[in-house]
Chain A
């Protein structure tokens, strides 16, 4: 047998790596069919959410939905604004719809803060840029996060035009006041955000924020279904979406 030289070994090893890499790229990665939803799950062709701002503002300072969401998902509370992690929160109208804010229309428009979260865009920039597919889109439109695959490069944070993504700048676990044992906590160094409560949908429950809202201001449903409630309200009322001109096709609608 011919003796293997170091040079020969390195050459063969390099060639093998190229073949493996080529196979992976050409392979079925990402194309694998999603498992069928469990029995009793809520399903949709395309999930969407409608926030009725008038109703949302009925009770001033109400944070029932935010509290429910953050409790449900073990979202840590940081006092330092720089390290904040949030899935659902309120922002002043002028920050959410800067293109519509004008000095003298304040009374009509900025009657209060606006609830913001991940828009579950139909064409999500975050999914496009993620180098590991740690954030991806389900067929029903939900933009998902895999906290075990995320490398923490924060490219998605830079790509999201809505500031909807949070990074764990430090270990979040000591900052969770009431631990929900039925939902995972995250580790430092990964990105997280709203997932439309996919874990609740799988059990046949509506998202936590929808359920928690005392004013019934949040409507959630299948926007592809003409008979759904979201379609009914969007047919009747004028609505806005955040930065639709960017082509991301956000799926959170605001009734003004």
Chain B
């Protein structure tokens, strides 16, 4: 079944890594069981900040999932051969990210045993219904594409022709998952921080920066731990994509800030003030937000300067900076910033609790495990062909 036999043979180092991830996952599972028993009260969430760390991860990871399109589109639509060896890595990254997204929604639910109510009472006027449809569809599409193309590769035959339209469909679908995710927030009348038409474009720009940045890092890791080398060219091409996407993202964020701060409309400006300077003496996110700004600015310089971008060591550090900066900005910054101040003007400090962090780490570990296993299978298939 799905070439899984290739994932159960590996070096000591491989098993140590799997073991480590399993321990973190178990920790997350135990923390979740506690949450399941006692309720979401064991998190730092509150009446005023009712979404937090979980939904922040969900939002960020939808972007990582969508970014697979940045390798799929050039390869399949423009016949850009350079990406030929890494498209499947992008697809497996998408599968893992979408799974993490779904789990982060699941652990955020107050009544997780009722999750199937979303399918039992399908509600087209709810954006959450469409988010389920788009994420589920994207998972099925990518799983199908990855399985069919990898199977063909193993047999040394070209993939069946019917898969091509499925791949083409996955391209607009990738855009849709992040657009619908932005609509979750951008359609709420009382939340000015999210009520902005640029939210979806901004989500896509940050996704196409953070996702390919991660893919570059993964390619470099693969090169270190296996015989497989993606080569220099795909990494450099990905770096160009990261550069453009990061420029667009920073541009969009600055436009948001200008509109909110120059107009001075309190309900628009106060969220930014809270994030960067604090309100009523509370500035829990300010160190994070400034870190994000500094990382983004530095990363932009290092990306735009060709000499820096061409140096793979520097590029690796830059990709890490891009990823971290966007993880802060589009994660906790975006979610918590939208809730403070509350509709009744309350400034509430939200700090995730240890069980909440354990659950979050557990899901990240599961995602990393999925990426590891999928990549291991892919590399084993390719090694057996040589």
Contacts and interface: CB of A to CB of B under 8 A. Distances in A.
Interface of A: 21, 24-25, 29-30, 81-84, 91, 94-96, 98, 116, 125, 128-134, 149-155, 157-163, 166-171, 187-191, 243, 246-248
A189 B110 contact: yes
B125 A128 contact: yes
Given A128-B126, A153-B109, A168-B39, A83 B189 contact: no
B190 A161 contact: yes
B121 A133 contact: yes
Given A95-B346, A167-B50, 20 more contacts: A29-B121, A29-B122, A116-B344, A129-B187, A132-B123, A149-B114, A150-B110, A151-B109, A151-B115, A152-B112, A153-B108, A154-B50, A154-B110, A158-B188, A159-B188, A161-B188, A163-B47, A163-B48, A169-B41, A188-B41
A171 B111 CA distance: 12
A129 B345 contact: no
9 contacts: A83-B47, A131-B128, A151-B117, A154-B110, A158-B188, A159-B188, A159-B190, A161-B189, A189-B109
A166 B348 CA distance: 15
A89 to B, nearest CB: 10
Contact of B189 (A82, A116, A168, A247): A247
Contacts of B125: 128
A131 B190 contact: no
Interface string B101-129: 00001001111101101111111111111
Pick the 8 closest A-B CB pairs, nearest first.
A152-B110, A161-B190, A189-B110, A82-B46, A170-B41, A169-B41, A188-B39, A131-B128
A161 B343 contact: yes
B188 A125 contact: yes
Given A153-B109, A167-B47, A132 B39 contact: no
B351 to A, nearest CB: 11
Interface-centre pick from B45, B126, B342 (highest chain A CB count, 10 A): B126
B110 A96 contact: no
Contacts of A96: 344
Contacts of B129: 131
B263 interface: no
A66 to B, nearest CB: 16
Contacts of B51: 154, 158
B164 to A, nearest CB: 21
A189 B191 CA distance: 23
Contacts of B240: none
Nearest to A169: B41
Interface string B47-59: 1101100000000
Contacts of A189: 39-40, 109-111
Contacts of A134: 117
Contacts of B112: 151-152
Contacts of B45: 82, 169
A129 B128 CA distance: 7
A247 B188 CA distance: 12
Interface string B315-352: 00000000000000000000000110011111010000
Nearest to A14: B140
B92 to A, nearest CB: 22
B111 A151 contact: yes
Given A25-B122, A96-B344, A166 B47 contact: yes
Nearest to B44: A82
Contact of B343 (A25, A154, A160): A160
